[in-house]
Structure 1
């Protein structure tokens, strides 16, 4: 899980969502039915969420599968008034949404969510990612519940992250060598491929740790050089993100 930036919606879409929300008390079918009947709004929201998502429309929870639908972070069953609240919408794959999270929304004694919202929280404040094994370790109660509810400890996800770590290290070494030999076009292609692959949390964690005292020893000097190139917009052609 990585932090994501939530941009403002177009004013016209905001107004239509607000108008829908105002209909909730009178709508005979309830919030869930009104949401289902709002196909145009859902389609437009999906496009904005896909643009926010990591990689190529990856699920904002597991980071592995392609996102398929809008998830209400605070479920409609619990907070029907937030059905059309942009701040309550995230992009999720079918498995995370329907098999894992469903209508679960654990809270602490003060009524605050015990789930990480990647558009509002820094996941690294609550989770440690062990790159070599692909396992998440909780740092807080919110981290522990996030692992449990979203199934972030599923063996298939842990194996996927561990393999993504191997892949990232190899590609970053290639990136450093290509840049060293001024093969900028191919280096740019490798850099882009790094930023759109699944398990963006692996690359994000590597970028976060690249300045640690033992980073060169753990990752290798060429890998660190590749990470620094991703962070420096002047090093390679084309826009890169962290």
Structure 2
């Protein structure tokens, strides 16, 4: 796994810094600013992937990395890996339009999968409603909330290219746990079916979406889930 540290045209280096889907605590934000001062960072730049790029001289790289670790931050992985997850502010505490807790799910997925080694970079995007502020249809694995703990999943999207491509609907009305289970299924299939250095979008186009459809029985029938929720409610065990 490579680290996202790139030499710039001016001879300095850009370090791509990952937080929890773009969320910082005040202590982390203040600490990053202090670390930037101490490491003679030239500029800090927000990215479209909800990360922060620090531009600095080569001799200060190791010092900055050490400071990031102490703050609970890290350098983003890059090259044949699961990249930093994009998740909108979609949850009941932050966005009035949110249908489901996209931010919470995005953070969970990043904690579980960030840096997982794969055939090619895989990008995940999670949105709290169909407005899709995080461009889930242009991600390798795009998730869109449709209700409380209910998400639709699209795969094979591709952005940041001259030939952008929308993902295809793979599964509907999944819980957050089921989304993670489906992601495991998709990357397992991708690892087996992809040609060397082939992006997921190209693999889906070559072998067909059907190869990635989850097998019957992978997820519990929704009626069964509804019955369980009803039984929990009448027994007084439903969470507040």
TM-score by length of 2: 0.35
Q: Indicate the structure with greater helix content.
A: 1
Q: Which has the higher contact order (CA 8 A, sep 6+)?
A: 1
